[in-house]
């Protein structure tokens, strides 16, 4: 055992579990690839100010959860706590918005970091797949992204997830609601930190998970009652498009999520089988974020779906994904000449698209066959000196135990036919 272990609140992803995580990432990204979203990858750390400006100085993410560091050159950097700000920064830096085709549609996958109290489904290092559509204000774009997320979950076999939907208004109607909410909140019995939050971003108080706070919020004014006509019409179009696509949703007038940059459409996917950490993904529109980080006006919308949480949701529903086999054929050489010949055969099998492995380390027949069975392979290819003299190998079906000689120069074609 090593002297070292993974830092608290993190995890190592190892086979066979890692195969499920890869399959989930692929399932989430597949609908995006079919819909014009190109892949983007950003650094694991950014300037602290990118997140304090974009995510919001009043958010728990920035005030309590962000990992920050000072470089030898004195720069203040932060491990990325979320993906949207980084992706938008990258798109602006590369002038993708000036290429003449809007929206710029991007997807990404990676690890993110927040200093939180570790618990099931909530880690200090977690994995997400995200998507951003930058530079267009269109309810069809909001609906598209929501539908693509629903399609991803459905393709995995999930059925017990719910979509919560809300609108947070815009720069016209949000200030009116903000003032009404502040008046209500100032009259409540709240701690000093929450009172400071009332003055900075009162909507964040609605997202407070403490039961004592939620009880006092029972009569809080709702954003739905303060939306301007333009925001009402926009939100209704999103709802109509979702309904037409067969997507079920629940209106949640208190849904604000944990980031300051959201405007208008806001949504969250929850799974009731995950207990208190029920959110598996979410997102929304962020029309003012580009200006917040020094860019031009670029109305945008996006989401991030948690890979870790989605895997937990699959377990909660008892779903086992059909994963491609890590090994289909296992080669067992008996003797030095057989090692040379079968190693070449394994290479040929792999180039033919067959997952093949080899008994490395000069194992005897008994130990090599144990390795073959543990690998999950369907067939073993066995050869000794006598077999090679006769120009054959022994092809053994590891499920039935049947073993037959096959000409060495036809074994690849034979296996292709059997595995097809």
Q: Distance between CA 358 and CA 380 in Å, rounded?
A: 10
What is the radius of gyration, based on Cα positions, of the chain? 27
Positive or negative, the Cα torsion across 73, 79, 83, 84? negative
Alpha carbon distance 420, 410 (integer Å):
16
Is there a binding annotation on residue 132?
yes
Instruction: Give the separation between CA 37 and CA 292, rounded to whole angstroms.
Output: 24
Tell me the β-bridge partners of 403: 396
Q: Pick from 307, 322, 318: which is nearest to 153 by CA?
A: 307
38 among annotated binding-site residues: no
CA distance 83 to 107: 10
Distance CA 248, CA 240 (A): 11
Is 114 labelled a binding residue?
A: yes
Q: Is 84 annotated as a binding residue?
A: yes
Per the CB < 8 A criterion, the answer to whether 287 and 142 are in contact is no
- Cα(35)–Cα(172) distance, integer angstroms: 32
144 is in an annotated binding site: no
b/e map 117-135, b = 16+ CB within 10 Å:
eeeebbbbbbbbbbbbbbb
User: Residue 257 annotated as binding?
Assistant: yes
- What is the helix, strand, coil percentage profile of the chain, to 5? 40, 20, 35
- Region of 174 please: left (phi>0), alpha (psi -120 to 50) or beta: alpha
Is 320 annotated in a binding site? The answer is no
Q: What is the DSSP letter of 63?
A: I
- To the question of whether residue 113 is assigned a binding role by annotation, the answer is no
82 is in an annotated binding site: yes
Q: Is the torsion defined by CA of 87, 91, 92, 94 positive or negative?
A: positive
Confirm if 121 and 298 have CB atoms less than 8 A apart: no
Q: How far from the centroid of its chain's Cα atoms is residue 377's Cα?
A: 30
Residue list, annotated binding site? 82-84, 114, 128, 132, 257, 261-262
Q: Residues annotated as binding site for L-histidine? A: 82-84, 114, 128, 132, 257, 261-262
């Amino acid at each position: 055992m090593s002297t070292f272990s993974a830092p608290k609140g993190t995890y190592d992803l190892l086979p066979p579990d890692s195969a499920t995580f890869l399959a989930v990432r692929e399932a989430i990204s597949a609908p995006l690839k079919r819909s014009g979203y190109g892949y983007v990858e950003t650094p694991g750390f950014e300037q602290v100010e990118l997140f304090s400006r974009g995510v919001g100085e009043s958010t728990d993410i920035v005030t309590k959860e962000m990992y920050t560091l000072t470089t030898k050159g004195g720069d203040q950097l932060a491990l990325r706590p979320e993906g949207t700000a980084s992706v938008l920064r990258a798109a602006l830096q590369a002038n993708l918005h000036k290429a003449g085709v809007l929206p710029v549609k991007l997807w990404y996958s990676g690890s993110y970091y927040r200093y939180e109290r570790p618990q099931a489904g909530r880690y200090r290092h977690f994995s997400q797949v995200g998507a951003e559509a930058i530079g267009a204000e269109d309810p069809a774009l909001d609906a598209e992204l929501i539908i693509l997320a629903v399609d991803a979950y459905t393709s995995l076999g999930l059925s017990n997830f719910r979509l919560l939907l809300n609108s947070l208004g815009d720069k016209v109607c949000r200030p009116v609601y903000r003032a009404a909410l502040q008046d209500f909140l100032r009259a409540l019995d709240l701690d000093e930190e929450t009172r400071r939050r009332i003055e900075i971003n009162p909507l964040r108080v609605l997202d407070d998970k403490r039961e004592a706070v939620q009880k006092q919020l029972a009569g809080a004014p709702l954003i739905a009652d303060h939306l301007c006509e333009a925001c009402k019409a926009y939100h209704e179009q999103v709802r109509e498009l979702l309904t037409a696509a067969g997507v079920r949703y629940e209106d949640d007038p208190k849904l604000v999520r944990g980031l300051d940059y959201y405007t208008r459409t806001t949504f969250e996917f929850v799974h009731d089988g995950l207990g208190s950490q029920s959110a598996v993904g979410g997102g929304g529109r962020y029309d003012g974020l580009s200006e917040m980080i020094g860019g031009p006006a670029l109305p945008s919308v996006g989401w991030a779906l948690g890979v870790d949480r989605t895997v937990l949701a699959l377990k909660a529903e008892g779903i086992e994904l059909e994963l491609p086999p890590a090994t289909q054929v296992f080669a067992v050489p008996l003797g030095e000449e057989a090692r040379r010949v079968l190693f070449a055969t394994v290479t040929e099998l792999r180039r033919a698209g067959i997952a093949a492995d080899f008994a490395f380390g000069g194992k005897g027949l008994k130990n090599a066959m144990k390795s073959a069975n543990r690998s999950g392979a369907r067939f073993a290819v066995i050869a000794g000196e006598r077999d090679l003299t006769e120009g054959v190998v022994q092809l053994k079906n590891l499920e039935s135990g049947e073993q037959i000689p096959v000409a060495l120069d036809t074994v690849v074609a034979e296996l292709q036919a059997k595995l097809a």
